[in-house]
Structures are given as structure tokens and as C-alpha cells.
Amino acid sequence: MSRQSSSVWAPSRFAGRFFVSVERWSRFIAEHAGQIGLLIWNMLAACARLRVPRRDILRQLHIIGIQSVPIVVVAAALIGVVTSQQGGYQMQSQIPLYIMGSVVVESVVLEMGPVLTAIVMIGRVGARITAELGTMKVSEQIDALQSVGRDPVEILAAPRVLAMIISMPLLVSMANLVGITTGMISAQYTLGLGQETFFYGARLFWHSYDIVYSLLKALVFGAAIPIIAIHMGLRTSGGAEGVGRATTHAVVFMTLTILVIDALFPPLFLN
Amino acid sequence: MSVAGNGSGPAIEYRGVFKAFDEPVLSGVTLSVERGEMFALFGPSGTGKSVLLKTTIALVTPDRGDVMVGGESVYFGGRDVLERIRRKVGFVFQYAALFDSLTVFENIEIGIPEENLKRMGANAVAQRVWESLELVNLDPKQVLGKLPSELSGGMKKRVGIARAISGRPEILLWDEPTTGLDPVNTAAIERLITQLSEDLHVTSLLVTHDIEGGLDMCDRVAMLEGGSLRFCGSPDDFRASDDAVVKAFIDRKAAIAALDTLEIR
Ligand SMILES: Nc1ncnc2c1ncn2[C@@H]1O[C@H](COP(=O)(O)OP(=O)(O)OP(=O)(O)O)[C@@H](O)[C@H]1O
Ligand SMILES: [Mg+2]
């Protein structure tokens, strides 16, 4: 093809490619959305029929909830310190120092506590779930489970999701407490802000709804992370490399989902 | 183990099963396996024998067609029917597919349907697991507590068979049960298949590359090639067939000749 004719055709070729990729993307999104919807539906059905083994829920509570405590506490402690220091840095001269109490408490409770706990849990729990189920999928263990009349959604998916939904609000509550405490201590040492003043400032702008908002986030994140992880695990194919690929994709998918949900929270729930 | 189930008609009936992955694999397979029958399925590597077996209990969903098991539809019968079908069908996977985080005992125990587990009680379950291992010529004392990663390939395979029979299914689907086993263990598995069929009227559909073994044991045989059935009939007819592909499977010389003339990959 000569150079001229190709440049004449370029716009329509571009448009063609554009529509092909739009089509591919919408099919991709529809496929994931459909599969996730079905997964959620099957999981609800399994819970409604009380078919989820209690022993597995307890086991997952241990792995997902209890074993995550140390990393969540460490992350929250650091977040508290950083929030308080950064706030202090910006808050010289005119602004009264007691505002710091509110800055630390509100940013930890409304944003940092839930979101950072979720990010930690994506790495610690989400990736693990995808890798675990992905390996079972590519080695035909999921097939084998079905062949003996067991339902992977009941036995593998539901216990993990339930454990995560139970754990997340507790972990986030803990992260909030720890973050506020370290923020307060840090403010005391670096800004000389006493405890009473800190809490005076915190109370000034505090709504009891804030804790509801924080725990609601925890709950939604706690459902979204394992559901995506399981979905990505169960559609894994292609051996060890496929498991690696699925896990990476799952982490990206979970992180973006958490950030998007987080961005939707203020317009939906803070009015 | 119960005699053939309720309802009438064949134990398994494939009705025009189509399945394509990137390329077409099964293009309209129609086949029925009678109750209590031992049926062998041969075919070149990669023609979709494993895929066909998996469509029997909806581990792979066909693009078109249906499978009937004991007169009930696998794909249009709903969830309860599929659950019932999976309970009465045992599946021996080509690569064992053991649960790698469970011990041999737990791997076999899970082959017993949940409601039976509750009814039987711990002792009867342990007894059943023990028996299943003995049937596949493994020493229960030696392997019960081990993890699959601590077993040899042939041992894994036999644990997979023990799992498939522990639920006392009416129908067994065997995907190359003797591939990779030594001659003594091959004989043990072949005897097990025959016993299950003769003593307990279990229906067996056996995918195998051991043509002689399959022809000796089975009541009928079929050959899957290029996505559809190339042959279906008695072992004697199979031996007497003029079909070049069939001949290539019986006779080493014909197989060598087929290398150059036939499109078998
Ligand atoms: N999950 C899958 N995804 C994509 N392709 C698949 C899948 N399963 C099977 N196939 C393809 O289907 C074809 C048939 O595979 P199958 O495992 O049924 O062969 P087979 O007849 O059992 O061969 P063998 O005797 O070597 O076990 C192969 O070409 C394989 O690549
Ligand atoms: Mg195969």
C-alpha cells in the first residue's frame, strides 16, 4: 500500500480499531461482572442453606483475622505518627494547635484506617486466596472437588468471604484506635500538644456517624477483597505462570476496586 | 453398592456433544453406555477423551448437546439433579488430582457423600477408607497419614482411584487408570475394574491407551478420532476392522505405516 492511500485510510482505521477495542473491553467487563454476580449469588445461596462448614469459617478466621493483627497494628501505628507529624508541620502560627486532635482522629477514622487496612489485607490475604485457589484450579483439584459432589463455593469461597467480612470491621476498629493513640502520643512529643487539648480538638469536630462510616467502609472492603480474589483464582488457567499472572491481576483489580469504592464513599455517605 | 439406579435407559448417554476451546475438540459425539457395561474408549492423544469424560459430570460444559446419566439430564436438570448425578458417579482423574493440603485419609474420606459420612460414623468411615486403599493394592498403614507430595506418581494415581470408589458409585469414569503403573499394579487395577463390574454391576467407562487390556476386559469399545467416533462396537469387530486408524491402534506395524500415511497427531 502506498504511503498516500494509507494516510487517507488512517482515520477510519483508527475508528475501526477504537470500536474493536471498545467491544473487547465491554465484553471483558461484562464477563467479569457476570461471573462475579453469579459467585455472589451462589455464595448467598450457600449461606442461606446453611451449607458453609463452620470448621472452615473458624480456620479462615484464624488465618485471615487473627494472623493479620500484627501487620495491621504496625501499619496503623505508623500512619498515626505520620498523620500527626505532617499535620503539625502545616499547622504553624495562626491555626490553633488543638485542631490537630481533629485532624488526626478524622483522617485516621474516615480514611487512613479503613483504606490502609484494606491495602494491607489485599497483600496478605487477597493474594494468598487467589494463589491458593488458582493452584487448585490448574491442578484439577477444583474439578476433583466437584466430582465428589462438593461445591467449591460452599467449601472454599464462602468461608473465606465470611471470615473476611467478620474480620475487617474488627481490624479497622483496632487500626483506628492504634492510629489515634500513636498520633496523639506523637503530637505530644513533637508539638507539645497535651492529651486533653488533643481530645478537646477531636471532640469539637467529631460526629458519632464517623465511626459508622469507617466500619461501613471496612465491611464493603471486607466483602470486595475476597470476592475478587476468589473470582480471579477460580478462572485461573495455564499452570504455574497462570497462577502468577492471576495473582498479579487480582492484586491490581482489588487495589483499584478499593480505591474506586473509597472515592465513591464521600459523595454517597458524607452528605 | 447398589445395582443400576432408578429410571430406565442407558447409564450414560452423550447426545451430540460439541465442545471447542481455541479449536473444535468434540464435534457431535453421540454414544451410550449401558447399565453394568464395561466400555473402553480409545483414541489418539489430544482428541478430547478427557474432555468427553468431564462433560459427563459438568466439569466441562459442552457448547451444544446434552449428557444423560441414569435417564436424567446433566445440563438441563437443575442443581439438584447434577448433585445427585455427581454423587453416583466416581471420576478417576488422569493426573490423580489429589487435594494437596489433605492427607491420604482425608483425600479418600471426601469421596464419600456428605450425608453418608454423617450416617456412617467415624469407625465405618475409617473402615471404608481402609478397604478402598486395599482394593487399589496400597498398604493403608503405610500411606494413610501421608500428604500427596510424599507419594510416588503411581501411588497418587491409586489414591485417586481409591477416592473415586470410596463413595461406592454406580458409575465409574476412568481416565487412563493404568497409565504409568507397573505390570503388577496394572493387573490389580484391571482386576478391580472387572470385579466392580461383575460383582456389583458398576458401569465403567474406561479411557485407555492399553488397547489389548481394554479389548480383553470390556464388553464394547469405541474409538474417538478427530472430534467424533470413528468406531463403536464389540472388541471382536474392533479387531476385525478394516479401518486404517483402528488397525494402527491394534498392530504395531500398521501404526508405523500410519505415521506416514494418516493424519494422526
Ligand atoms: N481447559 C482447556 N482449555 C483449553 N483447551 C483444552 C482444555 N482442556 C482440553 N483442551 C484441549 O482439548 C483437546 C483435547 O484434550 P484432552 O485432554 O481431552 O485429550 P485426550 O484425548 O484426553 O488426550 P490424552 O490421551 O493425551 O490424555 C486438546 O487439544 C487440548 O489442548
Ligand atoms: Mg486425557
Name the residue type at position A198: F
Check residue A98 and give its pLDDT.
Answer: 86
Is it the case that residue A12 has pLDDT exceeding 80?
A: no
Check residue B259 and give its pLDDT.
Answer: 79
Residues B135 and B192 sit within 8 Å (Cβ to Cβ): yes
User: Domain span at residue B122?
Assistant: 97-166
Q: Write down which residue in B138, B166, B194 finishes a domain.
A: B166
Chain A residues in contact with B57 (beta carbon < 8 A): 146-147
- By mean pLDDT, which of A41-55, A244-258, B22-36 is the weakest? A41-55
Name the residue type at position A18: F
Question: In the structure, what pLDDT confidence band is assigned to residue A88 with cuts at 50, 70 and 90?
Answer: confident
> A159 vs A18, A126, A193, A223, CA distance in Å?
42, 14, 45, 12
> A40 vs A221, A225, B59, CA distance in Å?
15, 13, 20
Considering only alpha carbons, which residue of chain A is nearest residue B173?
A: A147
Q: How many CA atoms lie within 13 A of B24 on its CB side?
A: 11
Question: Residue A150: what are its φ and ψ, rounded to 5°?
Answer: -100, 150
Residues B97 and A140 sit within 8 Å (Cβ to Cβ): yes
Closest CA to B164 of B141, B189, B185: B189
Question: Which range scores top for mean pLDDT: A75-79, A188-192, A204-208?
Answer: A75-79
Task: Determine which residue's CA is closest to atom 31 belonging to ligand 1.
Answer: B46
- Whether B95 and chain A come into contact, CB under 8 Å, resolves to yes
In sequence order, the β-bridge partners of residue B204 are B38, B172
Distance separating alpha carbons of residues B180 and B178, to the nearest angstrom: 6
Check residue B220 and give its pLDDT.
Answer: 96
Q: Which ligand is nearest to the CA of B209?
A: 1
The stretch A96-121 carries a mean pLDDT of: 93
Angle between helices A99-107 and A69-90 (to 10 degrees): 140
Q: How many domains does chain B have?
A: 2
Distance separating alpha carbons of residues A129 and A125, to the nearest angstrom: 6
Is it the case that residue A248 has pLDDT exceeding 80?
A: yes
Q: What is the DSSP string of A155-210?
A: IIIHHHHHHHHHHHHHHHHHHHHHHHHHHHHHHHHHT---HHHHHHHHHHT--THH
Q: Which residues contact B172 (CB under 8 A, 6 or more apart)?
A: B89, B90, B91, B92, B164, B165, B193, B196, B202, B203, B204, B205
Query: B108: alpha, beta or left, given left = phi > 0 and alpha = psi -120 to 50?
Result: alpha
Give the distance (Å) from ligand 2 centre to CA of residue B225.
13
User: Which helix (H) or strand (E) element contains residue B15?
Assistant: strand B12-20
Check residue B4 and give its pLDDT.
Answer: 41
Is it the case that residue A18 has pLDDT exceeding 50?
A: yes
Q: Is B265 in the pocket of ligand 1 (CB under 6 A)?
A: no
Residues of chain B with pLDDT under 50: 1-5
Of B57, B86, B95, nearest to A140 by CB-CB distance is: B95
Q: Count of CB atoms within 10 A of residue B260's CB?
A: 6
Check residue B257 and give its pLDDT.
Answer: 78
- Three-state DSSP class for residue B232: strand
Residues B141 and B229 in one domain: no
pLDDT, mean over chain A? 92
The stretch A242-271 carries a mean pLDDT of: 95
Listing from the earlier edge strand, what are the strands of the sheet with B64-69?
B24-33, B12-20, B64-69, B72-73
Check residue B247 and give its pLDDT.
Answer: 87
Q: Write down which residue in B166, B183, B215 finishes a domain.
A: B166
- Sorted by where each begins, the domain ranges of chain A are 1-50, 53-270
* Pocket residue to mutate for ligand 1, from B14, B17, B21, most atoms within 8 A of Cβ: B21
Is it the case that residue A2 has pLDDT exceeding 80?
A: no
Residues B264 and B176 in one domain: yes
Task: Determine which residue's CA is closest to atom 28 belonging to ligand 1.
Answer: B46
- By mean pLDDT, which of A74-83, A89-98, A215-224, A262-271 is the weakest? A89-98
Residues B11 and B117 in one domain: no
Is it the case that residue A10 has pLDDT exceeding 80?
A: no
The stretch A204-219 carries a mean pLDDT of: 94
- Cβ distance B86 to A148 less than 8 Å, yes or no, reads yes
Give the distance (Å) from ligand 1 centre to CA of residue A89.
64
Give the distance (Å) from ligand 2 centre to CA of residue A222.
40
B62: CATH: 3.40.50.300
Q: Is B43 in the pocket of ligand 1 (CB under 6 A)?
A: yes
Considering only alpha carbons, which residue of chain A is nearest residue B83?
A: A149
Give the distance (Å) from ligand 1 centre to CA of residue A137.
15
Q: Is B47 in the pocket of ligand 1 (CB under 6 A)?
A: yes
Q: Which three cell numbers stand for residue B21?
A: 476451546
Check residue B2 and give its pLDDT.
Answer: 40
Best probe of the B interface among A133, A138, A148, by most B CBs < 10 A, is A148
Q: Write down which residue in B148, B166, B184 finishes a domain.
A: B166
* Pocket residue to mutate for ligand 1, from B17, B49, B95, B208, most atoms within 8 A of Cβ: B49
User: With a CB-CB cutoff of 8 Å, which residues 49-78 of chain B face chain A?
Assistant: 54, 57-59
Check residue A7 and give its pLDDT.
Answer: 53
- Cβ distance B167 to A145 less than 8 Å, yes or no, reads no
Is it the case that residue A104 has pLDDT exceeding 70?
A: yes
Chain A residues in contact with B108 (beta carbon < 8 A): none
Residues B219 and B187 in one domain: yes
Check residue A16 and give its pLDDT.
Answer: 81
Of B54, B86, B95, nearest to A149 by CB-CB distance is: B86
